[in-house]
Amino acid sequence: MSTEEKLTEERLAKAEKLRELGVDPYGGRYDDVTRTATVRKRGETLKLEAGAMVEGERARVAGRIVLQRVMGNLVFLTVRDGTGDLQFGLSKKALRDDWPAIKLLDLGDFIGCDGCLGKTKTGELTLWADSFTMLCKALHPPPAKWHGLKDVELRYRHRYVDLFANPPVREVFRQRSTIIQAVRDYLIRCDYIEVETPALQPIYGGAAARPFTTHHNTLDIELFLRISPELYLKRLLVGGMERVFEVSRNFRNEGLSTKHNPEFTMVELYEAYADYNVMMERVEGMTALAIERLDGNPKRPYGEVVLDYSVPWSRRKYSDLLEEYAGVSMADVAAVRRKASELSIDHAGKDDAVVVNEVFERTVEHHLIQPTFVYDYPAAVCPLTRRHPEDPNIALRFEAFVNGMELGNAYTELNDPRVQEANFKRQLAGENETMAVMDEDFILALEYGMPPAGGLGVGLDRLVMLLTNSASIRDVILFPLQRPR
């Protein structure tokens, strides 16, 4: 038997002894629990004297035992709930008949206690228990109490352990919830409504990525997990829903990295009668509200740098940045290809616009540290975007960059069905994946008439990374993809 199996056996034996004592080791409904944060707050207002117990100031608290200090007939437990830790004091004298069960407790078990609030000699707020309820016997020991769980692989594979053993991890996910709620609230304030569109799509589109493929048995059809909700949300504009957003889990069958997980969360939104300039304000606005809900500080550390999210963010034209960092003009195709060769980018047989964009990605993006909107992209790589009124080679598109990472992507939307159809039919040379996948029903929708609109997608995992100073997307996704063992 391995050590781990032995530890489990010992705990199972204790569960059995609890049953013999008439105690259900797995508990049950437990009402009127006060969270430890509330108890701590109450402790402050009580102005307890060290060593004092306040008769009548009662509380019922439940949580997981994370530390145990046994002193013969007196036991101190540090109990953790979702809001923090609280010390329980359990004595043989106060608990009487419950005492034998106390001696069967282990680190990791869930318990609940009723008692009076007090402070120990050393001033620690303590719940002095006079009754005890077993809520769950844990069969595995928690990680080392001081070091927590450090092994990165175990942290992701057993995230549940990571969450209770490493409180800062739980805090990141609480902040994730705050941030996403702020994004929703901001959009609702802007008169948007939240919608849901298909994650299972017969035709995938709206982004350039390889899809996951699946099959519906009854209809016997091939379906794709969405790479983007874009084409469905635009159909809602046709339908007269003028401001819509979706918090969308997207699936892209691509590589993994600190910035990429095969399934990730975007907020995507469309606003009739707006354009991409309005969408820049939406990015600034949702980010600002999220920061307000966190700690209010627009200057935020991220790794080695401090990022300043103060509004307005920098707005830079694509072609100017290309000149500045690559030293070539977007219009000078020969110069761009020379630069590509210099960078050992294989550009033979690739479309000009594809080469321009590859040079841009290699030379410019990593310089865009402070929040920056890059606008006016080469039209050929933007099949869903309206063209610049004065230059058909430019698309009214921007991408938001922070710390060299793409955070969002927005267009003044293309609503001319004939141009859209032509763009779908045009397959660019040198693109492995393309946004230009023909969707005839989408064309039909545009033919019914889609109001001019601005559209935007923001990577919420990446926004959470940036605002919580997390180095990897895996630190902000509860269960990042891992190869099964």
| Residue list 414-443, contact with RNA (CB under 7 A) | 431-433
Helix (H) / strand (E) element for 223: namely: strand 221-225
Kindly indicate which of the ranges 38-46, 171-179, 255-263, 294-302 contains the residues binding RNA, using the contact rule CB under 7 A: 255-263
Nearest-approach distance from CB 233 to RNA, in angstroms: 15
360 binds RNA (CB under 7 A): no
Other Cβ atoms within 10 Å of 294 Cβ, number: 15
Interaxial angle between packed helices 352-363 and 318-326, expressed in degrees from 0 to 180 and rounded to the nearest 10: 60
| CB nearer RNA, residue 120 or residue 178 | 120
483 binds RNA (CB under 7 A): yes
Task: For 106-156, give the secondary structure using H, E and C.
Answer: CCCCEEEEEEEEEECCCCCEEEEEEEEEEEECCCCCCCCCCCCCCCHHHHH
**Residue (of 328, 258, 283) closest to 183 by Cα position:** 283
The residue with tokens 């141009």 is 419
123 binds RNA (CB under 7 A): yes
**Residue (of 138, 105, 92, 133) closest to 17 by Cα position:** 105
Among 43, 112, 115, 143, binds RNA (CB under 7 A): 143
Nearest-approach distance from CB 271 to RNA, in angstroms: 18
Among 15, 39, 81, 91, binds RNA (CB under 7 A): 91
Q: What is the footprint of RNA within residues 204-223 (CB under 7 A)?
A: 207-209
What phi, psi does 113 have (nearest 5°)? -140, 145
- C-alpha–C-alpha distance, residues 187 and 120, integer Å: 49
Kindly indicate which of the ranges 21-29, 31-39, 121-129, 421-429 contains the residues binding RNA, using the contact rule CB under 7 A: 121-129
Q: Are strands 372-378 and 387-388 parallel, antiparallel or unpaired?
A: unpaired
| CB nearer RNA, residue 69 or residue 299 | 69
Beta bridge partners of 266: 248, 459
Q: Are 228 and 250 in contact (CB under 8 A)?
A: yes
Nearest-approach distance from CB 216 to RNA, in angstroms: 25
Q: How many residues would you count in the chain?
A: 485
151 binds RNA (CB under 7 A): yes
What phi, psi does 186 have (nearest 5°)? -60, -45
242 binds RNA (CB under 7 A): no
Among 19, 41, 69, 425, binds RNA (CB under 7 A): 69
115 binds RNA (CB under 7 A): no
- Those residues whose C-beta lies under 8 Å from the C-beta of residue 388, and which sit 6 or more positions away, are 376, 379, 394, 395, 396
Nearest-approach distance from CB 188 to RNA, in angstroms: 25
260 binds RNA (CB under 7 A): yes
What phi, psi does 476 have (nearest 5°)? -120, 5
393 binds RNA (CB under 7 A): no
Among 76, 173, 212, 325, binds RNA (CB under 7 A): 76
Kindly indicate which of the ranges 151-159, 285-293, 307-315, 415-423 contains the residues binding RNA, using the contact rule CB under 7 A: 151-159
342 binds RNA (CB under 7 A): no
Among 132, 156, 204, 424, binds RNA (CB under 7 A): 156
| CB nearer RNA, residue 9 or residue 440 | 9
- C-alpha–C-alpha distance, residues 383 and 420, integer Å: 7
Q: What is the footprint of RNA within residues 29-58 (CB under 7 A)?
A: 51
Kindly indicate which of the ranges 23-31, 267-275, 313-321, 353-361 contains the residues binding RNA, using the contact rule CB under 7 A: 353-361
Q: What is the footprint of RNA within residues 282-341 (CB under 7 A)?
A: none
